[in-house]
Structure 1
């Protein structure tokens, strides 16, 4: 009897241990359901980095000799940042810039003046991008003691009505007028901004440049002639002003970028790049650069488009 009790006790003890182990190992129904309901951990997809294609190709630009040195400086910076890009820039004058762009012989034309209505009629798809503004200064040779002129005096000198500096407060010396050639954007802007007047009927007219004026093909050439020829007077883009010539105040206002910005000096014009229709991808990229980071270069000698 004692032996049976011991066996029964052992059997009960083993059963209890087995039951306890099963209770530990088996998950509860609630836990199992929760485990099934829990969402699987999401793994974020790896983003693929797509680099913009490098710019490459060639651009041909021609036109204004005023725009040319600015465009060359802008192009140099742009090509440094884009080694596979080549930009060739030629002068010829603003009229050449308009016709070259309109005829599609260049990627970008350049003009240092407003585009004429007749040109827009000839090239109705012409697109105009103003990249800067530029003042025009009346300049005299270093030997001429003359600091200020009125607009009327400037008109009289450049039209040949006044022929001696003594007539406008300067030395007793004959005046030699130096001007840009026909087709020059600088000349066209000077004629419109300075030589324009109203006749007796109230109609706008432009006094013609003196027939005996020494005509020059670029701002650089005109500056050299005025700097080295006594008793001369001419007009220059602000971008070409230096100590070799003397800038003359107009109506008491000095020809400076700051005076253009503050509105006291009114002889200035736009510097434009032109395309026939929408620009090519490369031309658009160059224009985008000029109108953003390139404005830092513009600000060195010209007036930015935001001023």
Structure 2
């Protein structure tokens, strides 16, 4: 999706919300101006015809109070969410730049670990060894993994066992899964992809998949499946469109409601990893997480097709 389209979608979801979920965050930044004394505050409040108590509770931090840049690196599956978040946050705080790079979950976690990024976007749970290095797992949304086939495929539903057998190479023809007599072209993501890690972990097929093609982005998987007869692939729920056919799994459709209900088994967290807890980060990063976990942030998560954590 083009950047301006993402922005439009996100802003539409925000239009009904009040601004100011980040009240007072900028007052902690090193680049913000010194806070006025109590006497100055009272004097200014009197001049404006407002009591000092009203001044204290007049919520939002001025946009000029937040200045600087935030760097995010990681999951291509999180591109839609991360781009929308960046656009909205920079709109709200014009003196802040949010830079996002999409190179895979493993690379994102490593970037945080070595200090080259503030945030590592990971579309999978963090590994024990990553947590042991002091990386904090901050879950910001839940995403479903949809199984897609080319539009001409007659199959509507797969069981978990059938899906597992297709990816481990036990089933190689659609006739053995209720379809036509046609070879199955197994499409997957590249090693290091959070989507692949989550998919293989849920199906217990790590290091056992028989891929025909391993592609380096969600968009590439969608395009390959759409154009390849007999193909099957897996993608994030939020990128689905009518170029592919989405299969039911164990009779259950891939929807946010079914994921919340726990009836659709292919789901995974969207993690924005940090080196240390959020409370240990710089003021800009803290402010970004304050926004994500605010009511506005919750609506943003929903607007890009994901499931909020609260």
Task: Name the TM-score class by shorter chain.
Answer: 0.7 to 0.9
- CA distance in 2 between counterparts of 1:145 and 1:194 reads 23
Could you say what secondary structure the match of 2:137 adopts?
A: strand
Write the mapping of 1:262-301 to structure 2, written as runs, cut at 5 A: 262-277=261-276, 278-292=280-294, 293-300=296-303, 301=305
* Alpha carbons 1:74, 1:297 under 8 Å: kept: yes
1:140-195 superposed Cα distances (whole Å, 9 cap, x missing partner): 01111110011111011111111110011011111100000110000000011123
After TM superposition, give the deviation of residue 88 of structure 1 in Å: 0.9
1:91 aligned to 2:102? Answer: yes
- CA distance in 1 between counterparts of 2:216 and 2:207 reads 21
1:185 aligned to 2:194? Answer: yes
* Alpha carbons 1:149, 1:252 under 8 Å: kept: yes
After TM superposition, give the deviation of residue 290 of structure 1 in Å: 1.1
1:250 aligned to 2:249? Answer: yes
- CA distance in 2 between counterparts of 1:289 and 1:179 reads 34
2:148 maps to 139
Could you say what secondary structure the match of 1:294 adopts?
A: helix
* Alpha carbons 1:195, 1:207 under 8 Å: kept: no
1:208 aligned to 2:217? Answer: no
Q: CA RMSD in A?
A: 1.7
- CA distance in 2 between counterparts of 1:94 and 1:207 reads 18
- CA distance in 1 between counterparts of 2:101 and 2:216 reads 13
After TM superposition, give the deviation of residue 100 of structure 1 in Å: 0.5
1:163 maps to 172
Write the mapping of 1:99-138 to structure 2, written as runs, cut at 5 A: 99-121=110-132, 123-124=133-134, 126-138=135-147
* Alpha carbons 1:136, 1:235 under 8 Å: kept: yes
After TM superposition, give the deviation of residue 222 of structure 1 in Å: 0.5
* Alpha carbons 2:125, 2:137 under 8 Å: kept: no
5+ residue gaps, structure 2: 1-41
2:12 maps to none
1:89-135 superposed Cα distances (whole Å, 9 cap, x missing partner): 111111011110111100111101010012222x12x1221110000
- CA distance in 2 between counterparts of 1:280 and 1:113 reads 25
Could you say what secondary structure the match of 2:73 adopts?
A: strand
- CA distance in 2 between counterparts of 1:261 and 1:244 reads 26
* Alpha carbons 1:155, 1:207 under 8 Å: kept: no
2:234 maps to 235
1:79 maps to 90
- CA distance in 1 between counterparts of 2:204 and 2:180 reads 24
Q: TM-score, normalised by structure 2?
A: 0.78
* Alpha carbons 1:223, 1:236 under 8 Å: kept: yes
5+ residue gaps, structure 1: 1-43, 197-205
- CA distance in 1 between counterparts of 2:301 and 2:182 reads 38
After TM superposition, give the deviation of residue 207 of structure 1 in Å: 6.1
- CA distance in 1 between counterparts of 2:137 and 2:216 reads 24
After TM superposition, give the deviation of residue 264 of structure 1 in Å: 1.1
Q: Which structure would you say has the larger Rg?
A: 1
Task: Report how many residues are paired.
Answer: 251
- CA distance in 2 between counterparts of 1:195 and 1:266 reads 13
* Alpha carbons 1:159, 1:207 under 8 Å: kept: no
- CA distance in 2 between counterparts of 1:273 and 1:68 reads 12
* Alpha carbons 2:159, 2:250 under 8 Å: kept: yes
